[in-house]
Every structure is written in C-alpha cells, then in structure tokens.
Structure 1
C-alpha cells in the first residue's frame, strides 16, 4: 500500500510539534553536510538559496508549541540553518565565499519572487475553458496568490534583515576567529550565530509585521511571538548545530581548498 502526500501530511499532523521541530532541525543540518559532501561549496550555495526561499514561504504559518505560551511563526529552523552553512563556508573557504553565498541566495529569492508574480499575471481559466479535464486547475490561482501575494512586503523585510544579519554573521565569525585562531570552533559558531540571529529577528519582525504590514500586529505579539519566541528557538538551534559544525571538515573531504 503506497503512502500518498496527503496520508503523510495527515500522519505528521499527529506527531507532537516539538518532535517534528527537532526532526526538521536534524534533517536540515544533515542535509547541509550531505550537500557539502556531494558538491562542496557549490552544494552549500544551493542549500542556502533553497532554504531562504523556503523559509520565506514557511513564515506565513504559525504553530503552537507546548514549551511556549504564544504561537511561533514557522521558518525559524529552515532559515536558522543557513547560518550553519555560511559558518561552514567562512571556516573552510573564507569570508569571500560566505559573502558570495549570501548574495547568490538574495538573487535566487528575488528571481523566484519575480517569476511567481509573473505567473500570477496570467489570466486564470474560466470553468468553461477548463472543462472536465482541467477542472483541477481552477483554484490554483488563489492558492498561489495566497502564498506569493504577500511576497513584495515580505521580500523587502526579509531580504533587508537577511543581508544585514548574514553579512554581520560573517564579520563576527571572522573577528572571533582572528581573536582565537583555530581554537574554540564552538565559540565562533555559536557567538556569531546568536548575535546575528538577534539582529535578523528584530529587523525582520519590525519591518514585516509593523512597518510594511497592512494591519500591523500589536507590540505584545511582535515581541513575544515574532522576536522573543523565534529567537529562543534560534539559540537552541545554534547549540544543536555545533556537532555538525565539527563534522563539516569530514563532510567536505576532498572539496577542501587545502587538499
């Protein structure tokens, strides 16, 4: 008996959200190592671009977790995993490679957004045009619009915060490495990610849900749901990804510049 996507989603809906969140984090970190193992720096560039696009869609959904009183906007794990990828690039390929990944992912999300807006620009079919064979396509315009109509505002907020925080992350990582040399990998990984994540959380939340929002959220929701709620998760993610940072040299293997 085959398992359809609908069946899989129904099954996952029964899994405690905390367990699913942990699985998502481990899946993302494992995927980063796999992409590094298979494709080297190029694999990390690809992962970061896909994660940035996916996180900006995922942020439209909020979930209630048992460990926090307020709903938490999704996208935190997926977006937060990009800091591990850029830290790996900074550690093994240098600051220029990490900055290149940031700008490539920015370009990827911009291109994706423009393509989706162009797709929405095509006039949807009428029931008469669709007939019986294409009836399934009649509601797709609304489904796509529900995901990507907010995109311009979210793009402005997300990319402003993303560029600022990721470039800040690369800078802090290099500064800590300059002070500690090759020692204390855990410190530069966690220190840079925690600081830059706070910058990203504050900038994105204020811009997306207050400045650019048609109906701004209240300050309580802004602080507890979007800033504090997701930042706590980011701190936990930063600690959780530390073993994967140590495994990155093994994962890159023959792709390392020194080999």
Structure 2
C-alpha cells in the first residue's frame, strides 16, 4: 500500500506544469485588470485614450488561447467561467476593507494616502460590475473563434499567429464597447476613450498578441517537457 504522501505527489504531477503556471497567472490578471482600469492612458500623439486594464486583459486573451491550443477548447472555456471566482473574491475583499475603519495613525499622518486609496477602490465596484459582462462575452468569443479557425488539424506557427490575431481583434473590439459603456457612460464623454480602446485593442491584437501566443505555447511546451 503506497504512502499517503506518494499518492498526493501522483495527483499533483497529473497537472501539466505549463497549465499550472498559466492558471496561476490567469487568476492574478483577472483581479488586477479591474483595478488598473481606473486609469485612462493617453494614446500619444492623439487625444484618444485607453483604460489601463487593457494590458492585463490582453494577457487573459493570450492565456485562454494558449490553453485552447494545447489543452483543448473545453478546458479553456471552463477557465473563463472559473475566472469569475477571483473576481468575486477580490470584489468582496475590497468591500470589506473599505467598510473597516482606518487606524488613527493613518488618519493623522497619512490622510492623502487614505483618501487616494478610497477614491480608487470606491470606484471599482462599477468597473468590476462592467468587467465581468465584457469579460465573459469577449473571452468566450475569443476561445470560440480561435478554436473554430483551427479546423480539424494542426497548423503551423504562421497559422497559429493568424488565428490569435483574428480571434483577439474581433473579441476585444466587442469587449471595448461593452466595458467602456457600462463602466464610464454618464461620468464623462466616452467617445475618445471608446474609439481609443477599440483602436488600441485591435492594433495590439494584430501586432503583439500573435507573438505572445506563440511564445506562450512554446513556454508551456517547455514547462511540460514536450518540446
């Protein structure tokens, strides 16, 4: 009869190392995307803008596509749905922390820091409410398009890059419309932000995402020892 610790080791080793690493990264990116989205970054030299959560969200696109490529569309879809868990937990923790009274020392000596903390995180509930709607639609769409373009057989590196670019560009354009409208409509004129967001995500999907996906696939295969 094997020792209990040996059985535990067998179960742990049953998870591919590449998959494990990307699952950890995915959970972290889902949480930080909503916080980063508070800041809009200017797309110099124009007056167009993009919310900073785009940088984390493109990471989610890359990871979900990588997992669909190596471990299957079904697992990638499950990952997208389970991504709601870290989102929900982080939202609950933010609400808890905002509800707790600050320490007297912080009020006395770090008032500006406390005010900035409350300003940013007090705004995140609306952003985090908009985030899941855009998140679920765009990432499920990304996985679906990416998998459908694969067809019935394997593709070469250029085919992988093209699939990643097309799936990401289409899904991120839709994500931008949903997120920006739900998160910021009524607070200010969202025209420049919306246009900037769509242009930035489509451009990055074409220029950057294909290389990140091929790099992600190569990294996962190396971690799994299948290269």
Deviates more, 1:169-178 or 1:93-102: 93-102
Instruction: Give RMSD over aligned pairs.
Output: 2.6
Do structure 1's residue 233 and structure 2's residue 200 form an aligned pair?
Answer: yes
- Determine whether 1:216 maps to 2:183: no
The change in CA–CA distance for 1:251 and 1:196 in structure 2 (over 3 A counts) is same
SS in 2 for 1:196: helix
Number of corresponding residues: 209
- Correspondence for 1:151: 124
Give TM-score scaled by structure 1 length: 0.71
- 2:29 counterpart of 1:56: no
Aligned counterpart in structure 1 of residue 137 of structure 2, from 144, 148, 164 = 164
Tell me: CA distance 1:125–1:209, structure 2 relative to 1, closer, same or farther (3 Å). same
Q: Give the unaligned 5+ runs of structure 2.
A: 1-15
Matched, 1:253 2:215: no
Q: CA deviation at 1:137?
A: 5.5
2:212 paired residue number: 244
Pick one of 77, 86, 102 that aligns with 1:108. Answer: 86
- The residue number in structure 2 matching 1:3 is none
The runs of 4+ residues in structure 1 deviating greater than 6 Å are none
Task: Give the Å deviation of 1:63.
Answer: 2.5
The corresponding residue for 1:197 is 172
The 3 A distance-change label for structure 1 pair 95 and 204 is: same
Query: Structure 2: how far apart are the matches of 1:179 and 1:187?
Result: 16
Q: 1:66–1:230: structure 2 CA closer, same or farther, 3 Å change rule?
A: same
Confirm or deny: 8 A CA contact 1:56 1:158 kept in the other structure: yes
- Indicate how the Cα distance of structure 1 residues 79 and 248 shifts in structure 2: closer, same or farther if over 3 A, else same: closer
> Aligned in 2, Cα 1:146/1:241: closer, same or farther, shift over 3 Å?
same
Question: If the length of structure 2 is used for normalisation, what is the TM-score?
Answer: 0.80
Does the residue aligned with 2:151 lie in a helix, a strand or coil?
A: helix
Change (3 A) 1:125 1:67: same
TM-superposition CA deviations, 1:50-92 (whole Å, max 9, x none): 1222121111112323232233322222212211111101100
Q: Secondary structure at the match of 2:201?
A: helix
- Residue-by-residue CA offset, 1:150-209 (whole Å, 9 max, x unaligned): 222111111111011101111111111127752511221111101100110011111111
Alpha-carbon offset, residue 43 of structure 1: 1.5
d(CA) in 1 for partners of 2:17, 2:152:
31
* Alignment gaps of 5+ in structure 1: 1-37
